[in-house]
């Protein structure tokens, strides 16, 4: 018992350093002055080196070897067995990496993020290109250290979705394409199109902020355990178990951008704040996978946030804040919120076309990692694929290849998690309807606590004890698949577009 407790204390020390690194990262993306970037980048590299050294230390190796012996391992609780398995996997992976690689990656990402922000602001890919080339080189270097069988991209996919292979994603994409593409065309051909122009106007930032706080309150986000700030690309960051911060962005011509960015990020934060406290600062106090994480944000953003009943609850506040909606009916507003269109921006995409944006990103990433595309050709390739998948050609780099922050973080392999998360969110939704039959009635009153409690019990409190496939099977009785998502969008949008 003492040995396992000593191991946990050692792991917690590593986590505390990670918390500091997280706080520096949050500051760099929100509040840090421009002249702080150079020194902060070196600070990030130094902290990353400390964390890495503890992760691959002789002391860590002794713990791993001790608890991996069959005799000792079999005496552990099921929870501790899972912890040992997770840490052993990370240890064996980390041992393959030179310490200078960790420092180079930390410094490169610290420099790349502000370069991406500048490039996006100026709509000039050339500013970000050398940083992306460096990060891509480091990513390929990583695959050589870790090793792979058939496809280099599997290395990154496993980071976010344990056990998933590139071929699995390709099969899911094929199934979704076969269902969604003809359905999207029916929607676009419909004569019963909502009036999307209702969403455009001049909306004061202060009023948008007020609405964000109102919706966060309705979602039961705990401001004693977090805060809301502004960032170029909205994100959520868990600094520590009691400090989960979210960001949003504001557009004065469209308040729904900040509204749904806020709801989406709050969905992530609610998951982080609901993870099992008994595992605080340990690997078990983590999401089952990034797709499961995305299932939470997409559930709140779409299945709640764009739900007619919830909008009915929220609409009085919207009308009070933005007088232009005084004479616009809830039905008109609801349909406008759920307008289906060919848009170049992923985060602005509707529920039906969103996965098309993920498909093209997956194809580009997989080709980059496997040397079938060069970084210098990215703007051209991006625009071609956008036209092929979405039917829209971006007007500039900001609207095209520079719209996502992920590559500046070195997060190759993340994008498929958005698509898988969409599928899981629909599976959880239909199971929740069985368990909470008055779901719609509660949303009309703005009572989302029962939904949050359901997620806490079924998803959040499991932490990382189960693989994502096992978690979804335990909750719904089925493996992760696209059937519930396809059912959901067809039911909802057939009514809106009368098709």
Which residues participate in catalysis according to the annotation? 265
Count Cα neighbours of 361 within 13 Å in the Cβ-side half-sphere.
25
Sequential DSSP letters for 219-279:
TT--GGG--EEE-SS--EEEEETTEEEEEE---TT-HHHHHHHHHHHHHHHHHHHHS-GGG
What is d(CA 252, CA 452) in angstroms, rounded to the nearest whole number?
A: 31
Residue indicated by tokens 């749904």 = 260
> Distance between CA atoms of 313 and 301, rounded to whole angstroms?
15
Residue among 465, 456, 461, 404 nearest 435 (CA): 456
Q: Using only the alpha carbons of the chain, give its radius of gyration.
A: 23
What residues does 230 pair with on adjacent strands? 248
C-alpha torsion angle, residues 485, 490, 493, 496 (rounded to 10): -140
Spatial separation of the C-alpha atoms in residues 417 and 405, rounded to whole Å? 15
CB-CB contact of 294 with 422 (8 Å): yes
Give the contacts of 26 (CB within 8 A, at least 6 positions apart): 237, 239, 245
β-strands 236-240, 243-248: how paired?
Answer: antiparallel
Listed residue (264, 435, 292, 255) closest to 354, CA to CA: 264
| The token pair that represents 101 in the structure block | 């690689």
3-state DSSP: the chain helix, strand, coil percent, rounded to 5? 70, 5, 30
Describe the crossing of helices 354-369 and 415-435 by its angle, rounded to 10 degrees: 140
Other residues' Cβ atoms within 10 Å of the Cβ of residue 35:
8
With beta carbons less than 8 A apart as the criterion, state whether 105 and 138 touch.
yes
Strand order across the beta sheet in which 236-240 lies: 228-230, 243-248, 236-240
Which residue's structure tokens are 């890495």?
52
Q: How far is 136 from 256, CA to CA, in rounded Å?
A: 34
| Measured distance CA(310)–CA(301) in Å, rounded | 11
């Amino acid at each position: 018992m003492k040995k396992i407790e000593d191991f946990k204390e050692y792991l917690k020390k590593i986590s505390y350093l990670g918390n500091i690194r997280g706080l520096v990262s949050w500051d760099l993306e929100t509040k840090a002055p421009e002249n702080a970037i150079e020194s902060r980048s070196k600070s990030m590299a130094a902290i990353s080196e400390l964390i890495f050294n503890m992760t691959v230390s002789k002391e860590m190796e002794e713990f791993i070897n001790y608890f991996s012996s069959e005799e000792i391992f079999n005496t552990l609780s099921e929870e501790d067995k899972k912890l040992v398995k997770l840490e052993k996997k990370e240890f064996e992976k980390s041992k393959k990496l030179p310490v200078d690689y960790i420092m180079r990656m930390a410094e490169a990402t610290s420099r790349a993020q502000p370069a991406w922000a500048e490039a996006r602001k100026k709509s000039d890919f050339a500013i970000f290109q050398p940083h992306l080339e460096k990060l891509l080189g480091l990513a390929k270097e990583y695959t050589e250290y870790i090793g792979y069988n058939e496809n280099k991209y599997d290395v990154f996919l496993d980071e976010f979705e344990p056990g998933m292979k590139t071929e699995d994603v390709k099969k899911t994409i094929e199934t979704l394409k076969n269902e969604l593409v003809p359905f999207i065309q029916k929607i676009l051909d419909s004569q019963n199109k909502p009036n999307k122009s209702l969403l455009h106007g001049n909306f004061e930032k202060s009023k948008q902020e007020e609405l964000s706080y109102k919706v966060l309150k309705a979602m039961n986000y705990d401001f004693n355990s977090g805060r809301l700030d502004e960032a170029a690309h909205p994100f959520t960051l868990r600094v520590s178990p009691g400090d989960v911060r979210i960001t949003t962005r504001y557009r004065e011509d469209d308040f729904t951008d900040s509204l749904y960015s806020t709801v989406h990020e709050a969905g992530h934060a609610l998951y982080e704040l609901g993870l099992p406290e008994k595992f605080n600062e340990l690997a078990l106090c983590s999401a089952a996978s990034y797709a499961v994480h995305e299932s939470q944000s997409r559930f709140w953003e779409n299945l709640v946030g764009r739900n007619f009943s919830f909008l009915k609850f929220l609409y009085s506040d919207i009308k009070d804040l933005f007088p232009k909606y005084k004479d616009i009916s809830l039905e008109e507003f609801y349909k406008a919120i759920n307008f289906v269109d060919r848009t170049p921006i992923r985060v602005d995409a509707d529920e039906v076309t969103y996965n098309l944006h993920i498909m093209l990103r997956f194809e580009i990433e997989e080709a980059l990692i496997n040397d079938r595309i060069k970084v210098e050709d990215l703007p051209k390739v991006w625009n071609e694929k956008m036209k092929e998948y979405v039917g829209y050609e971006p007007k500039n780099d900001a609207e095209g290849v520079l719209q996502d922050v992920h590559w500046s973080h070195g997060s190759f392999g993340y994008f498929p998690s958005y698509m898988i998360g969409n599928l899981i969110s629909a599976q959880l939704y239909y199971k929740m309807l069985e368990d909470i039959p008055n779901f719609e009635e509660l949303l009309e009153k703005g009572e989302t606590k029962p939904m949050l409690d359901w997620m806490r019990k079924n998803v959040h409190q499991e932490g990382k004890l189960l693989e994502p496939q096992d978690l979804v099977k335990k909750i719904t009785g089925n493996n992760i698949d696209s059937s519930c998502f396809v059912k959901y969008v067809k039911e909802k949008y057939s009514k809106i577009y009368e098709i």
